[in-house]
């Protein structure tokens, strides 16, 4: 146990040391060179900005989190259901999938204003924009998973007279789980980006606006330290969300799939 | 009673490979028939067509008095593939119960039947294990148990022991014969590269020639069952093996 702890400590130490060193250097150089805070704030300026605005910062984090989660949930539900629909008939897949690919290549920033025109500024539009970004990888990953079922297993199901739905539920969907989980991991990071981009375009998404809104606002008023604080929060949110989804994925996959098995277990 | 008949069956794959050409074959109920032949001579192709997993380009296949499709619909055929082909996410017991589950039999009955065949293959202690916790030989046993739980009248086995070591292979051969003898009138069709295996197991051997695949010789093995491990050392055994090897060379 203590060996394990010292092992993880020795793995954690170098990045922590690097972090302290870089932040220290940053503080030192900026204050020595006398660079003004609105150009490049010192780490201490950023901490101060967080301290004096923590209420609105937390509010923004909350709003963006809400938008991200909603967009992500819709992406997952839409992507998985859509892929099951496409995979259940070659005809449907052949006629619709090309458009799904095209949808994926449209830059979201180009579509966002239209979304705002159709659905008004605010939470609804932001969630839709996050959904549009997260949906495509969910759909294509799930579809690839559903279509890459082992041929022998498919033969086996055929031989034992499995219906189309039995094959889907008992074979294709469980076999696609690792692909679906891959999709979840891509999609969750994209949804954070989607929510922030959505806020750039669609403004206040409830409460007093999310991180994206706070960033545009702070940029306009050249509150650079607060801008940095918001950016920092956005990355932390992205990381936290990714970790959460990874954790849930591991639970979802349970114990059977190799990719989720740690190599040191035997 | 004839359970499988092939009349001038040919198969040409879409890329132009003639895998089987005018194969004729009649197999009677309760036999243990092995197919031997060099790699690529069309053994698996004949099996897949007979089990209804692909259709012949020309010729006729009659199985249990009907088409392969009808035989499948009436749950009369089972297959064991070269790989164990198990669902990695469910337990050994649920893997075995799969054919019954797909037929929507009551759960209780599924479990009872699964328990019965688990005992047949000697895996009763591993009912709750996942496939990845088993060795190759045990996985193959699960695969055989799953084929047996469906109570097939014809069991197709396509090189089921190909990936196993010699000792495990011989143990499983022995077990397979015991199970076959306990199951009344089940016909087994068995593909193998291995002349020793074919002679030990079957009462009829079909020798196939490479492309285009044809059945070139038929060797009856007139040794009564149970044959026992001693049979492997019997002079008759080596005589049969050399007979098979000779036919393979022609
Ligand atoms: N799906 C396919 N498409 C095209 N050609 C195929 C296909 N499946 C098999 N073949 C060809 O048909 C021939 C017979 O194949 P088959 O798998 O029946 O051989 P086999 O006797 O079972 O060989 P092995 O002992 O190696 O399993 C081979 O030449 C193979 O290349
Ligand atoms: Mg083969």
Q: What is the ipTM of this complex?
A: 0.90
Q: Does the CB of A174 have a partner CB in chain B at under 8 Å? A: yes
Within a domain: A32: no
Same domain, B199 and B244: yes
Chain A residues with beta carbon closer than 8 angstroms to that of B150: 160
Q: What's the pLDDT score for residue A90?
A: 86
Distance from B84 to chain A by nearest Cα, in Å? 10
Give distance in angstroms: CA of B20 to centre of ligand 1. Answer: 9
Same domain, B179 and B192: yes
| Touching B: A residues 129-158, CB under 8 Å | 150, 152-153, 155-158
Distance from B218 to chain A by nearest Cα, in Å? 28
Same domain, B91 and B135: yes
Within a domain: A68: yes
Query: Is A149 in contact with A171 (CB distance < 8 Å)?
Result: yes
- Residue with the nearest Cα to atom 25 of ligand 1? B39
Q: What's the pLDDT score for residue A163?
A: 94
Same domain, B95 and B110: yes
Within a domain: A143: yes
What is the spatial distance between Cα B106 and Cα B97, in angstroms, rounded to a whole number? Answer: 11
Within a domain: B160: yes
Within a domain: B139: yes
Domain total for chain B? 2
Residue A161: which of B121, B220, B231, B102 has the closest Cα? B102
Please give the structure tokens belonging to residue A27.
Answer: 């503080």
Query: Is B7 in contact with B59 (CB distance < 8 Å)?
Result: yes
Q: Which residues surround ligand 2, an ion (CB under 5 A)?
A: B 44
Same domain, B72 and B159: yes
Contact criterion met (CB < 8 Å) for B102 and A160: yes
- The CATH number of the domain where A158 resides is what? 1.10.3720.10
Last residue of a domain, one of B151, B167, B189: B151
User: Which residues of chain B fall below pLDDT 50?
Assistant: none
Angle formed at CA A159 by CA B95 and CA A94, multiple of 5 degrees = 105
> Which range marks the domain in which residue B201 is found?
2-76+152-249
Same domain, B22 and B68: yes
Nearest by CB to residue A160, choosing from B98, B130, B132, is: B98
Same domain, B214 and B157: yes
Last residue of a domain, one of B109, B136, B151: B151
Give distance in angstroms: CA of B38 to centre of ligand 2. Answer: 10
Same domain, B144 and B159: no
pTM of the model: 0.85
Mean pLDDT by 10 residues, chain A (266 residues): 63 91 94 89 92 91 94 96 92 87 83 89 91 93 94 94 94 93 94 92 75 90 92 93 91 63 43
Cα→Cα distances A103→A24, A94, B98, B143, B184, Å:
45, 15, 40, 44, 60
Within a domain: A217: no
Residue A197: which of A185, A211, A183 has the closest Cα? A211
Position in ligand 1 atom list of the atom nearest CA B213 = 14
Same domain, B132 and B66: no
Chain A residues with beta carbon closer than 8 angstroms to that of B132: 256, 258
Position in ligand 1 atom list of the atom nearest CA B41 = 21
Q: What's the pLDDT score for residue A157?
A: 96
Position in ligand 1 atom list of the atom nearest CA B211 = 29
Chain A residues with beta carbon closer than 8 angstroms to that of B159: none
Contact criterion met (CB < 8 Å) for A156 and B85: yes
Backbone dihedral region for residue A21 (phi beyond 0: left; psi -120 to 50: alpha; all else: beta):
alpha
Residue A50: which of A204, A236, A244 has the closest Cα? A236
Within a domain: A151: yes
Residues with CB under 6 A from ligand 1: B 13, 15, 17, 19, 37, 39-45, 211
> Which range marks the domain in which residue A241 is found?
60-206+233-257
What is the spatial distance between Cα A45 and Cα A43, in angstroms, rounded to a whole number? Answer: 5
Give distance in angstroms: CA of A4 to centre of ligand 1. Answer: 52
Within a domain: A198: yes
Contact criterion met (CB < 8 Å) for B72 and A159: yes
Domain total for chain A? 1
Query: Is A83 in contact with A229 (CB distance < 8 Å)?
Result: no
Q: What's the pLDDT score for residue A262?
A: 46
Residues 6+ apart with CB under 8 A from B223: B203, B231, B236
Please give the DSSP secondary-structure letter assigned to residue A106: S
Same domain, B125 and B186: no
Within a domain: B81: no
Same domain, B142 and B160: no
Within a domain: B10: yes
Same domain, B42 and B157: yes
Distance from A30 to chain B by nearest Cα, in Å? 56
Give distance in angstroms: CA of B13 to centre of ligand 2. Answer: 15
Can you tell me which residue has the tokens 């017991």? B93
Break chain B down into helix, strand, coil percent, rounded to 5.
40, 25, 35
Within a domain: A142: yes
Query: Is B134 in contact with B142 (CB distance < 8 Å)?
Result: yes
pLDDT digit string (tens) for B14-41? Answer: 998 889 998 999 999 999 999 999 888 9
Within a domain: A4: no
Contact criterion met (CB < 8 Å) for B102 and A162: yes
Q: Got the DSSP string for A108-130?
A: HHHHHHHHHHHH-TTHHHHHHHH
Please give the structure tokens belonging to residue B215.
Answer: 């059945």
Can you tell me which residue has the tokens 């010789």? B217
3-state secondary structure B41-70: CCHHHHHHHHCCCCCCCEEEEEECCECHHH
Nearest by CB to residue A174, choosing from B75, B89, B132, is: B89
Last residue of a domain, one of B107, B124, B151: B151
């Amino acid at each position: 146990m203590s060996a394990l702890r010292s092992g993880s400590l020795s793995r954690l130490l170098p990045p922590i040391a690097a972090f302290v060193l870089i932040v220290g250097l940053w503080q030192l150089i900026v204050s020595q060179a006398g660079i003004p805070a609105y150009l490049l704030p010192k780490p201490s300026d950023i901490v101060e900005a967080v301290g004096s605005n923590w209420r609105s910062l937390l509010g923004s984090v909350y709003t963006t989190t809400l938008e991200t989660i909603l967009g992500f949930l819709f992406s997952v539900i839409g992507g998985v259901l859509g892929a099951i629909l496409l995979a259940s008939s070659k005809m449907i897949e052949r006629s619709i999938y090309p458009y799904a690919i095209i949808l994926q290549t449209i830059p979201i920033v180009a579509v966002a204003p239209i979304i705002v025109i159709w659905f008004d500024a605010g939470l609804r539009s932001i969630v839709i924009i996050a959904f549009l970004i997260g949906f495509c990888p969910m759909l294509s990953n799930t579809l690839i998973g559903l279509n890459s079922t082992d041929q022998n297993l498919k033969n086996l199901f055929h031989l034992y007279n499995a219906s189309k739905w039995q094959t889907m539920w008992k074979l294709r969907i469980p076999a696609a789980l690792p692909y679906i989980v891959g999709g979840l991991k891509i999609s969750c990071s994209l949804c954070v980006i989607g929510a922030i981009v959505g806020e750039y375009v669609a403004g206040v998404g409830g409460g007093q606006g999310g991180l994206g809104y706070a960033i545009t606002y702070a940029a306009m008023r050249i509150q650079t330290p607060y801008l940095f604080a918001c950016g920092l929060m956005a990355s932390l949110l992205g990381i936290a969300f990714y970790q959460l989804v990874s954790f849930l994925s591991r639970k979802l996959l349970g114990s059977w799939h190799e990719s989720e098995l740690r190599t040191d277990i035997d | 009673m004839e359970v499988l008949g092939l009349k001038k069956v040919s198969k040409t794959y879409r890329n132009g490979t003639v895998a089987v050409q005018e194969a004729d074959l009649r197999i009677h109920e309760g036999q243990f028939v092995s197919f031997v032949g060099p790699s690529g001579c069309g053994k698996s192709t004949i099996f897949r067509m007979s089990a209804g997993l692909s259709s012949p380009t020309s010729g006729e296949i009659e199985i249990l008095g009907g088409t392969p499709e009808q035989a499948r619909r009436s749950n009369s055929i089972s297959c064991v593939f070269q790989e164990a082909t198990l669902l990695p996410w469910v337990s050994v017991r649920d893997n075995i119960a799969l054919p019954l589950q797909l037929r929507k039999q009551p759960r209780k009955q599924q479990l009872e039947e699964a328990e019965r065949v688990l005992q047949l293959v000697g895996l009763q202690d591993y009912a709750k294990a996942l496939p990845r916790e088993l060795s190759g030989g045990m996985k193959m046993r699960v695969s055989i148990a799953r084929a047996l739980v469906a109570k097939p009248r014809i069991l197709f086995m396509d090189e089921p022991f190909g990936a196993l070591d010699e000792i495990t292979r011989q143990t499983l051969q022995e077990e397979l014969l015991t199970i076959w003898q306990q199951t009344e009138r089940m016909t087994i069709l068995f593909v193998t590269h291995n002349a020793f295996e074919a002679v030990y197991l079957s009462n009829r051997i079909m020798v196939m020639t490479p492309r285009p695949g044809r059945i070139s010789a038929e060797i009856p093995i007139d040794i009564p069952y149970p044959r026992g491990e001693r049979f492997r050392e019997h002079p008759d055994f080596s005589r049969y093996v050399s007979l098979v090897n000779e036919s393979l060379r022609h």
